[in-house]
Amino acid sequence: MSQVHEGAAAPSGAHARGADGSRDLRLTGLTKEYATFTAVKSLDLVVPQGEFFALLGPSGCGKTTTLRMVAGLDTPTSGTIHLGDTEITFEKPYRRPVNTVFQNYALFPHLNIAKNVAFGLERRGIKNTRQQVADMLELVELTSQAHKKPTQMSGGQQQRVALARALINKPEVLLLDEPLGALDLKLRRGMQLELKRIQTEVGLTFVHVTHDQEEAMTMADTIAVMNQGVIEQMGAPSELYENPRTTFVANFLGQSNLIAGEIEGRDGDHVKVRVQGAVASVPGDRAHSDSGKGWLGIRPEKVLIAEAGTPIDAPGDVITGGYVTDVSFVGVSTQYSVMMPWGQELTVFEQNTGARSMLPVGTKVDISWRPEFAFLLDASQDAKAGIEDD
Amino acid sequence: MTSTAGVPPVSTDDTTAAKPRGRKLTGYWLILPGAVWLLLFFVIPFYSLVASSLFDPKGSVLTGYEMTWHVGNYVDAFNQYKGQLGRSLLYAGLATLTCLVVGYVLAYAIAFKAGRWKNLMLVLVIAPFFTSFLLRTLSWKLILADDGWVVGVAQAIHLTDVLNIIGLTTTDDRLLATPFAVIAGLTYNFLPFMVLPLYASLEKVDIRLIEAAGDLYASPMRGFFKVTFPLSLPGVVAGTLLTFIPAAGDYVNAQLLGSTNTKMIGNSIQSLFTTQGDYATAGALSVILMVIIVAAVMAYVRTAGTEELV
């Protein structure tokens, strides 16, 4: 949890601090029920001050509802929202030190860019906004566009105006609702870096809602993966990716091979799993189940592949008897589908280091992996949870 | 439409020269029906109106009319009827203002609060059009009649006293045959022309913009004046024009609900044309009214600056 704001040019509008000085955003037991379904189920969440926090999940998982409750645009059915020591659960949206960058930007079409950016300051009765607006437009590199109307600007520029319009108010928490969703891929990559730069520069708490796992991993200090109204897992991007706790996280964040296995039990700080005749061991902190059936998970890029009979540079058991059913060359890597003897197709990514030529379809292969990269999940979960349909 | 311009060009040599010309003419063919209509029902009558406004004022239906280019008709007509002219603009203005306030609230409710009743409410706004304009106005005569309950209620809540003080009624025991009745009639009759354009532009206002205003520290009231209202300006302009222009020239309301002291310019023009046979003064008055309205509308539209709004 990095406290990026220290040392950054502290905004002048510093709000009253809590007793311990922190202004963390705390959601406690937050629930939103609609007539026919529950959008958010008893959500507990702490977003440390100054952090870039991402709420990641598929559409309909409740992430936008959560954001709207923090903004005050929706009222929770139960639970509380605190900012530091101040409760803001039922505070009117225009009285919260929270601003939003809306998904469709929601720029005021009748006002020019400068007036859009000045809107929040003027509503709070601040008279001389000119210098602040100029500074903010400079930050988002739109100084020359100040007198244009929103409709005269491109999507990327509108996005930056929306960001400037929210940031100028120096909110304690900036909410971003899929702010890059409407941009094309190339622009999105550029804006991701831009957003991260600005967040580091101004040091505000950013809560970013997205369904794009790559976007969340690129920008966020901490990601909370949401599914069906609850948080499945929360942590740093690398932690979530390397050590998922649920099949949903394993599949939604990147891809995973989940192989059914029989858990034999703990052996020291490892858990032994019997997988299709071979015994694999999983480090204790990566085993999220202790007994019974389990899913042994391994990321495709962690799987090592070699032609049957050739040695593999891995200390673990080698599983033999597979053959290549599909090969796709994607430049930096080659993606193989390997049919295993037990009838499951595994995905393997191999770096194109040039050490060996591509293995053609039909090649008999052996696979293996380093045990420290495997993870173990409870078999009661759906192995296909979180796999997005194309 | 006899032109073949709608057909994609086929490159046969003998027709290539004719094609561009045919295409050029399409536009003219398309505006022809409208142009003929305007010529027959606007340009010719307008010419005739302006011509009769310059007739010798001594002419009559019996002696006939003589064209003497008597520009003095305008000065005489204006001087003689400036009271009615002023009253027309005042009554139409007040009716437009009342329509705007009542209509805006109604249109806002239909656009944002009506939910599934939206279509029903729109039908109800238009419903009065299924009855004759004259009949509806005559009904108001009954509603506002001296022995009717409306007068009784207005007296009980001292509305009549208030109206009397601000000069919209002349005595404190009646509503009919007062400026109040005429303005109320105008408001009632032209309200749908205000509500529909207002509804159309309010309906287009993105709810998310109102949310964004709230997010940016605007209370609901300030959000309305800073975002919703400016975005509905095209509807306000269209609605006020559609109400004010016909209201300024209206004579039915003043005739049925007013008295001799509430005569509007429409009543004067009507009586000059149909009963007194003074075509010259009637023509001059009509042209004066037209010029005033056109000038007022142009000034209004320029001030409102609606061309900037999308």
DSSP for A327-366 reads EEE-SSEEEEEEE-TTS-EEEEEEE--SSSPPPPTT-EEE
| Edge-first strand listing for the sheet containing A98-101 | A98-101, A173-177, A205-210, A52-56, A222-227, A230-235
Contact B57, B76 (CB under 8 A): yes
Task: Scan residues 214-233 of A and list those with Cβ closer than 8 Å to B.
Answer: none
Angle A338-A341-A345 from CA coordinates, rounded to 5°: 35
The verdict on B173 touching A (C-beta cutoff 8 Å) is no
| Cβ-based neighbour number of residue B54 at 10 Å | 19
- For A108-210, list the strands marked E by DSSP: 173-177, 205-210
Assign residue B119 the CATH number of its domain.
1.10.3720.10
B195 within domain boundaries: yes
- Check whether residue A374 and residue A252 sit in a common domain: yes
Strand ranges inside chain A, DSSP E: 25-33, 38-47, 52-56, 78-83, 86-87, 98-101, 173-177, 205-210, 222-227, 230-235, 257-267, 270-275, 278-283, 292-298, 304-307, 319-329, 333-339, 345-351, 364-368, 375-378
| Boundary-marking domain end, from A242, A273, A302 | A242
A63 and A195 inside one domain: yes
Domain region containing B174: 77-308
Distance CA B89, CA B70 (A): 27
**Chain A contact for B35 (CB, 8 A cutoff):** no
Let me know if residue B3 belongs to a domain.
Answer: no
**Is A1 domain-assigned?**
no
Q: How would you class A384 by CB atoms within 10 Å of its CB: exposed for 0-12, middle for 13-18, buried for 19 or more?
A: exposed
The answer to whether residues A229 and A260 belong to one domain is no
pLDDT of residue B141: 93
Show residues of chain A in contact with B208, CB under 8 Å.
102, 104, 106
Cα–Cα distance measured from residue A300 to residue A313, given in angstroms and rounded to the nearest whole number: 16
Interface membership of B138 toward A (CB under 8 Å): no
A173-177 and A98-101: which strand pairing? parallel
Question: Are A219 and A268 members of one domain?
Answer: no
Same domain, A174 and A43: yes
Could you tell me if A79 and A186 lie in one domain? yes
From the list A71, A95, A108, the residue facing B209 with the nearest CB is A108
C-beta of residue A247 within 8 angstroms of C-beta of residue A337 = no
Q: Over range B89-101, report the average pLDDT.
A: 97
Between CA B117 and CA A289 the distance in angstroms is 55
Question: What DSSP letter does each residue of A1-25 carry, written as one string?
Answer: ---TTTTS---S-PPPP-TTS---E
- Closest in A92, A99, A104 to B216, CB measured: A99
Residue labelled with tokens 């505006």: B31
Residues of A in contact with B309 (CB under 8 A): 109-110
CA distance B80 to B84: 9
Contact across the interface for B206 and A119, Cβ inside 8 Å: no
- Ordered per-residue pLDDT tens for chain A, 390 residues: 444 333 333 333 344 444 456 789 999 999 999 999 999 999 999 999 999 999 999 988 999 999 999 999 999 999 999 999 999 999 999 999 999 999 889 999 999 999 999 999 999 999 899 999 999 999 888 999 999 999 999 988 999 999 999 999 999 999 999 988 878 888 888 888 888 888 988 889 999 999 999 999 999 999 999 999 999 999 999 999 999 999 999 999 999 999 999 998 888 888 999 888 788 889 989 999 888 899 999 999 999 999 988 888 877 778 888 999 999 999 999 999 999 999 999 999 999 988 888 899 999 999 999 888 999 999 888 888 888 654
Specify if A103 maps to a domain. yes
Establish if B72 belongs to a structural domain.
Answer: no
Subunit contact A106:B310, Cβ cutoff 8 A: no
On chain B, the residues whose CB falls within 8 A of the CB of A94 are: 214-219, 223
Q: What is the pLDDT of residue A312?
A: 85
Q: Under a CB-based contact definition with an 8 Å cutoff, are residues A219 and A52 in contact?
A: yes
Residues B186 and B261 in one domain: yes
| Residue at B65 is within a domain | no
Look at residues A192, A211, A242 and tell me which one is the last residue of a structural domain.
Answer: A242
- Alpha carbon B138 to its chain centroid, in Å, reads 20
A160 and B CB contact within 8 Å: no
d(CA A100, CA A205): 12
Which of B205, B208, B215, B221 should we substitute to test contact with A (largest number of A Cβ atoms within 10 Å)? B215
A318 and A206 inside one domain: no
Same domain, B21 and B104: no
Within this chain, do residues A159 and A192 fall inside the same structural domain, yes or no? yes
Note whether B205 contacts A: Cβ–Cβ < 8 A: no
CA B244 to chain CA centroid, Å, is 4
Distance of alpha carbon B192 from alpha carbon A227, whole angstroms = 49
Q: Under DSSP, is residue A309 helix (H, G, I), strand (E, B) or coil?
A: coil
A36 close to B (CB below 8 A): no
* B226: contact with A, CB 8 A cutoff: yes
Two structure tokens written together for B261: 């002291």
Q: Please choose, from the candidates B259, B271, B215, the residue with its C-alpha nearest in 3D space to the C-alpha of residue A97.
A: B215
Are B40 and B86 within one domain? no
Contacts of B119 (CB under 8 A, 6+ apart): none
Distance from CA of residue A300 to its chain's centroid? 20
> Are B177 and B48 in a shared domain?
no
- Confirm whether B120 is domain-assigned: yes
Q: A110 and B309 in contact by Cβ < 8 A? A: yes
Could you tell me if A68 and A167 lie in one domain? Answer: yes
Q: Residue A67: list chain B partners with CB under 8 A.
A: none
* CA–CA–CA angle A75, A79, A84 (5° rounding): 95
pLDDT digits (tens, 9 = 90+) for B222-247: 999 999 999 999 999 999 999 999 99
Residue B218 in contact with partner chain A when CB distance is under 8 A: yes
Per-residue pLDDT at B3 exceeds 50: no
What pLDDT was estimated at residue A290?
Answer: 81
Q: What is the pLDDT of residue A21?
A: 60
Non-local (6+) Cβ contacts of A324 within 8 A are A336, A337, A338, A339, A359, A360, A361, A362, A363, A365
- C-beta atoms of B208 and A104 within 8 A: yes
Q: How high is the mean pLDDT of chain B?
A: 89
Minimum CA–CA partner of B225 in chain A = A123
Using a CB–CB cutoff of 8 Å, tell me whether B207 touches chain A.
no
Q: Do A51 and A199 meet the contact criterion of CB atoms below 8 Å apart? A: no
Distance CA A165, CA A121 (A): 9
The answer to whether residues A198 and A313 belong to one domain is no
Which of A161, A110, A154 is CA-nearest to residue A140?
Answer: A161
Chain B residue closest in CA terms to A72: B215
**CATH number reported for the structural domain that contains residue A146 in this entry:** 3.40.50.300
As given in the structure block, the two tokens for residue B257 are 């609900």
pLDDT tens digit sequence for B171-182: 878 899 999 999
Other Cβ atoms within 10 Å of B265 Cβ, number: 28
Q: Locate all alpha helices (DSSP H) within chain B, ordered by sequence.
A: 13-16, 18-38, 44-53, 72-108, 118-126, 133-143, 149-156, 159-165, 179-203, 207-215, 220-223, 229-231, 233-249, 252-257, 265-271, 279-304
Q: Which chain A residues are closer than 8 Å to B227 by Cβ?
A: 108, 110
Q: In A, which residues are within 8 Å of B212 by CB distance? A: 100, 102, 106-108
For A170, name the nearest residue in chain B, comparing CA atoms only.
B216
Q: What is the pLDDT of residue A243?
A: 95
Indicate whether A12 belongs to any domain.
no
Same domain? For B18 and B81 the reply is no
Strand order in the sheet with A38-47: A38-47, A25-33, A78-83, A86-87
B148 shares its domain with B18: no
What is the span of the domain harbouring residue A238? Answer: 25-242
Residue B6 lies in a domain: no
Number of domains into which chain A is organized: 2
Please indicate whether, in this complex, the C-beta atoms of B206 and A73 are within 8 angstroms of each other: no
B212 with A124: Cβ contact below 8 A: no
Residue A93, chain B, CB below 8 Å: the answer is: yes
B222 touches chain A (CB under 8 A): yes
d(CA B233, CA B36): 34
Q: What is the pLDDT of residues B269-297, one digit of tens each?
A: 999 999 988 999 999 999 999 999 999 98
pLDDT of A17: 45
**Chain B residues close to A179, C-beta within 8 Å:** none
Question: Do A138 and A225 sit in the same domain of this protein?
Answer: yes
Measure CB to CB from residue B211 to each of A73, A109, A123 and give the nearest one. A73
User: Touching check for A357 and chain B: CB below 8 Å?
Assistant: no
Is B58 within a domain?
no
Total domains in the fold of chain B: 2
Nearest residue to B160 via CA among B175, B179, B149, B146: B175
Say if the Cβ atoms of B208 and A106 lie within 8 Å: yes
Look at residue A92 and tell me if it is in a domain: yes
Q: Would you say A294 and A263 are in contact if contact means Cβ atoms under 8 Å apart?
A: yes
Chain B residues near residue A72 by CB distance under 8 angstroms: 214-215
Is residue B179 in some structural domain? yes
Contact A253, A244 (CB under 8 A): yes
CA atoms of A142 and A145, how far apart (whole Å): 5
> If you measure CA to CA, which chain B residue comes closest to A149?
B308
- Dist CA A28 CA A79 (whole Å): 6
B156 lies in the same domain as B291: yes
pLDDT at B66 over 70: yes
Q: Are residues A128 and A231 in the same domain?
A: yes
B221 in reach of chain A (CB within 8 A): no
> Which CATH number does the domain housing residue A300 bear?
2.40.50.100
Q: How far apart are CA B302 and CA B89, in angstroms?
A: 19
Last residue of a domain, one of A242, A268, A292: A242
Given a cut of 90, is residue B68 above it in pLDDT?
no
Residues of B in contact with A93 (CB under 8 A): 211, 214-215
The first and second tokens of residue A317, run together, are 């058991």
Residues B43 and B90 in one domain: no
The residue in chain B having the minimum alpha-carbon distance to the alpha carbon of residue A103 is: B208
Same domain, B28 and B157: no
Partner-chain contact A94 B310, CB within 8 Å: no
Distance CA A345, CA A364 (A): 14
State the count of interchain CB pairs (< 8 A) between A and B.
67
Report the b/e string of B167-196 with b at 16+ CB within 10 A. Answer: ebbeeeebbbbbbbbbbbbbbbbbbbbbbb
Give the nearest chain B residue to A166 (CA atoms): B216
Indicate whether B31 and B154 sit together in one domain: no
**Does B144 share its domain with B220?**
yes
Are residue B165 and residue B210 in the same domain, yes or no?
Answer: yes
Q: Say which DSSP state B40 is in.
A: I
3-state secondary structure B209-234: HHHHHHHCCCCHHHHHHHHHHHHCHH
Q: What is the pLDDT of residues B100-158, one digit of tens each?
A: 999 999 999 999 999 899 999 999 999 999 999 999 999 999 999 998 899 999 989 98
Q: A-chain residues within 8 Å CB-CB of B231?
A: 109-110
- The whole-angstrom distance between B61's CA and the closest CA on chain A is 57
Residue in chain A nearest B217 by alpha carbon: A94
In whole angstroms, give the CA distance from residue A83 to residue A27. 9
What is the structure's pLDDT at B6? 44
- Compute the nearest-CA separation of A175 from chain B (Å): 10
> CB under 8 Å, gap of 24 or more: what pairs does A266-273 form?
A266/A290, A270/A371, A271/A376, A273/A376
In a domain, A13, yes or no: no
Q: A187 with A195: CB under 8 angstroms?
A: no
> Residue B118 class from Cβ within 10 Å (0-12 exposed, 13-18 middle, 19+ buried)?
middle
Q: Is A165 on the interface with B (CB under 8 A)?
A: yes
